[in-house]
Every structure is written in structure tokens, then in C-alpha cells.
Amino acid sequence: MKTWKLSTLDALFAAIAGKQTLYIPADVAGQPVFARWEPGLAMTRALNTGRSAKDLFFPQVEDLARFRVAGKTVSVSPAQALQEPFVIFGVRACDCRSFDILDSVFLAEPADTFYQARREQATVVTLACSQPEETCFCTSLGIDPQAPGGDVSCWMAEDTLYLQANTEKGEALLASLPRLEDGEKPDADSSVFDKLPLKDLDFSAFSGKALMDWFNSPVWERLSQSCLGCGSCTFVCPTCQCYDVRDFDTGHGVQRYRCWDSCMYSDFTMMAHGTNRPTQKERFRQRFMHKLVYHPNNHGGQIGCVGCGRCLQKCPISMNIVKVANALKEGKA
């Protein structure tokens, strides 16, 4: 295990950024977000970013190709996938787990090359949590917020940053940094995690029962009743990966790009002759069935949630996966 003085964290960032692009969680226009480090940019004091770390692998808008149309002819020039290595520092355990979930979708055959390139170019440096918010429930999903994983795990204790490489990429990163000293981190106090109000959530039930039982649960109607149909929960969610592919006529050609989409939107499945999810109930149900049932069914029981608590904080009407999971298990809303 390596160490670095927290008082000179800026120097560490400068050292990393000297070789590749570095993203750290920082306050930009008052909002914590993963931002490209530049001298002077300080880490946010917030526990986690408002938007999740998925942005760096699956950005909200991404160009796919540019077309030119002339007469009856069409030509394509594909967009370049990222070719520059980068480091993302300060990823929390929950967000780090979300990469696994995104991988299971984007890297499944045929792999999404844009995502894949970013994943390959990235070195993920995680940061252990010590002061969780009440909305945190990663522990109930088998995540240890104090052992966050990634290519390099970091801990902050007293005045020291402890770094532990977990992968070859991580080793390489640490090896490239000067003046790292050896050290052992002290045992952390984990008692606050035992006090988390949502720590005892149990998601195992959802793979235990038949899909249709959950689907036909009477609670959906009531739970979805006040849903505004906005995309806040999906857009701040680190595991939501739905996207739309759209064309933009620039006047000099057509740019095809993909952008985040939300299954909560009424036009998500709209076709020329209607939609198969006509009311918010079906859309709402889709989102949570996907997280709790469909995704685990298709991916060896892996729940599509990492317990980051963002949807608990951001939903305009305070509806969230915790309320849904509890209501489903109780069978009443």
C-alpha cells in the first residue's frame, strides 16, 4: 500500500494529469460533478457527485457517425472512439460497481465499441467512504463502501491518502507516480455503516419468485400514480443505460448521435401505431422490473442497483427504488 499526504493532493493530481487526462469529483457551478482536473480545481466536499460516474463511459450525448447525402447517394464517416487514456479519481464503491452492471450490457456481444474504448482507456481510482448519507444502501447490495475496488482503491484517513493497486492498470498508474511512500492504512471505523437506516434492505426476494408475480403485483398502480414521468431518476442513476439514436441535420450533413433516454418517458416505446406501454404505470413498472427482476434474470442474479441513493435524493416526488422494493415485498403500497 502506498501513501500520499492529503495536504498535497493537488500535487498528486498534477502528477497524474501530467500524463493523462484526470477527472475528479469537483464543484462546478455549485454542483458536484466529475470534472476534468486543471490546476486549482479542488475535490468536492460532497459525498458523491450529482450525476454518476457513468457519464465518463457513457456520456449523455455521443456522436456515432456523420452522413453526407447528395442526390441519391449516401456516405458514412464513423465517429472515432476515444483513444486517449484517462484517469477517473474518487469513484465511490457504488459507482464502481455500476461499471460492472454497465459492462454486462455494453460489452455483451456485439460489444459497444465506443463504451469499450472508454473502459479500456480508463484507470478507475476509487475512494472509500467514511461518512455515508442516510440515503446510502450499497451495503445491502453486497458492496463494501470501505473496500471500493476499481484499478486503484484509495482511503483517506487523518492527513494521509492510502492507495492500493488492484489491477495491472492500477499498478502502472501508481508506478508512474513519483514520491509515493509505502504505508499501511489504519483500520477504519465502520460503525456508522451499521446505523444506516436502509442497510437491511433485502433484494434477494426478487429473483426468488416468478417474474409474472412481480409484474402483476397490485402495487404498481398506486406507486406510479404520482410519478411525473420525468427522467431525473434515470439520468442520475449510475446503472440506467437506455439510449436513443437520433439524427441531426446540420445543414452540411447529418450527424447521428446517441443520447440518454428514459423508460419513464411517454415516447420511449412510441411507434407509428401507438405504444405498448401506454400509461405511466407500465413505464414505471418497466423501470423497476428491469432493475429488480429482468436484469438479474439475464445477468446471473446481478441486481441493477448499486445503492448510491441518488434517486432517493433527486426524485421530485420522493418516489424511489427503496419504496418500490419494500412495497413489492409487502404486496401493498
Partner 1 sequence: MQRIGVFVCWCGSNIAATVDVETVAQTLAKEPGVVFSTDYQYMCSQAGQELIQEAIREHRLTGVVICSCSPRMHEATFRKTVEKAGLNPYLLEIANIREQCSWIHKDKLTATQKAVILGRAAIAKVQLNAPLTAGKSPVTKRALVIGGGIAGIQTALDIAEAGFPVDIVEKKPTIGGKMTQIDKTFPTLDCAACILTPKMVDASQNENIDIISYAQVEKVQGFVGNFSVTIRKKARYVDEHKCTGCGLCTEKCPQKKVPNEFNLGLDNRRAIYIPFAQAVPKVATIDPNYCAMLKSGKCGVCAKVCTAGAIDYKQQDQLITREYGAIVVATGFEPIQLDKFDEFAYSQSPDVVTSLEFERLMNAAGPTGGTLLRPSDGKHPHTLVFVQCVGSRCDGAEKGKSYCSKICCMYTAKHAMLTREKYPDTEVYVFYIDVRTPGKNFDEFYRRAVEEYGVHYIKGMVGKVTPQDGKLKVQASDLLGGRQLRIDADMVILAAAIEPDKTARPLATMLTASMDTNDFFTEAHPKLRPVESPTAGIFLSGACQGPKDIPETVAQASAAAAKVIGLLVKDSLTCNPCTAKPDELMCNGCSSCEKVCPYGAITYVDKSFRGPNRTTLIRRVAQVNPAVCQGCGACTVACPSGAMDLLGFSNQQILAEVDAICR
Partner 2 sequence: MNLTRDPLIPMVAQVTDIRADTPDVKTFRVVGLDGKKPMEHIPGQCAMLSMPGVGEALFSITSSPTNEDYLEFSIKKCGCVTNWLHAIEPGQQLTLRGPYGNGFPVDTDFLGKDLLFIAGGIGLAPLRSVINYVRHYRERYGSVDIVYGARSKEDLVDYQEILTQWCREDGIHVHLTIDNPQPDWEGHVGFVPNYVKELAFDTGKTVVMCGPPIMIKFTLAGLEELGFRRDQVYTTFELKMKCALGKCGRCNIGDKYVCKDGPVFRLDQMTQLPDEY
Partner 3 sequence: MQVNETFTPTIVAFCCNWCSYAGADLSGTNRLQYPANVKIIRIPCSCRLNPMFILRAFQRGADGVILCGCHPGDCHYTTGNYYARRRMTLLFSLLDFMGIERERTRVEWVSAAEGAKFAATMNDFTQTITRLGPNRRLEDLRCKVE
Site of interaction with partner 2 (CB under 8 A)? 64-65, 67, 69, 72-76, 78, 80-81, 83, 105-106, 108, 110-114, 117, 210-212, 215, 241-245, 247, 249, 253-254, 256, 258, 261, 263, 268-273, 275-277, 282, 286, 289-290, 293-295, 297-298
Retrieve residue 204's grid coordinates. 434477494
By CB under 8 A, tell whether 80 contacts partner 3: no
- Which of the stretches 30-38, 47-55, 186-194, 247-255 binds partner 3 when contact is defined by CB under 8 A? 247-255
Strands 73-78 and 61-70: antiparallel
SS3 168: helix
Q: Interaction with partner 1 in 68-107: which residues (CB under 8 A)?
A: 69-71
CA distances for 279 relative to 201, 204, 234, 270, 319, angstroms: 29, 29, 18, 12, 17
Q: Taking the chain, what is the end-to-end CA distance rounded to the nearest angstrom?
A: 48
Contact 102, 58 (CB under 8 A): yes
Rounded to an integer, what distance in angstroms lies between the CA atom of residue 301 and that of residue 207? 7
Retrieve residue 92's grid coordinates. 465511490
- For residue 93, what are the contacts with CB-CB under 8 A and spacing of at least 6? 126, 128, 129, 138, 143, 144, 145, 146, 147, 148, 149
Of these partners, partner 1, partner 2, partner 3, none, which one is at the site of residue 113 (CB under 5 to 8 Å by kind)?
partner 2
Q: Which is nearer to partner 3, 255 or 280 (CB)?
A: 255
Grid-cell match 448499486, residue found? 306
Of these partners, partner 2, partner 1, partner 3, none, which one is at the site of residue 279 (CB under 5 to 8 Å by kind)?
partner 1
Of these partners, partner 3, partner 1, partner 2, none, which one is at the site of residue 75 (CB under 5 to 8 Å by kind)?
partner 2
Of these partners, partner 1, partner 3, partner 2, none, which one is at the site of residue 106 (CB under 5 to 8 Å by kind)?
partner 2
Of these partners, partner 3, partner 2, partner 1, none, which one is at the site of residue 130 (CB under 5 to 8 Å by kind)?
none
Cβ neighbours of 250 (radius 10 Å): 9
- The CB-of-240 to partner 1 minimum distance in angstroms stands at 24
Rounded to an integer, what distance in angstroms lies between the CA atom of residue 182 and that of residue 228? 52
- Which of the stretches 29-37, 204-212, 213-221, 246-254 binds partner 1 when contact is defined by CB under 8 A? 246-254
By CB under 8 A, tell whether 251 contacts partner 3: yes
- The CB-of-243 to partner 3 minimum distance in angstroms stands at 18
Q: In the chain, at which residue ranges do the beta strands (DSSP E only) sit?
A: 2-5, 21-28, 31-36, 61-70, 73-78, 86-91, 122-127, 152-157, 160-165, 181-182, 243-249, 254-260, 270-271, 274-275
Q: Which is nearer to partner 1, 7 or 279 (CB)?
A: 279
Q: Which is nearer to partner 1, 100 or 249 (CB)?
A: 249
By CB under 8 A, tell whether 225 contacts partner 1: no
By CB under 8 A, tell whether 218 contacts partner 1: no
Rounded to an integer, what distance in angstroms lies between the CA atom of residue 217 and that of residue 168? 47
Binder to partner 3 among 72, 195, 252, 273 (CB under 8 A)?
A: 252
Per rule CB under 8 A, count of chain residues that contact partner 1:
8
- Contacts with partner 1 by CB under 8 A lie at 69-71, 249, 251-252, 278-279
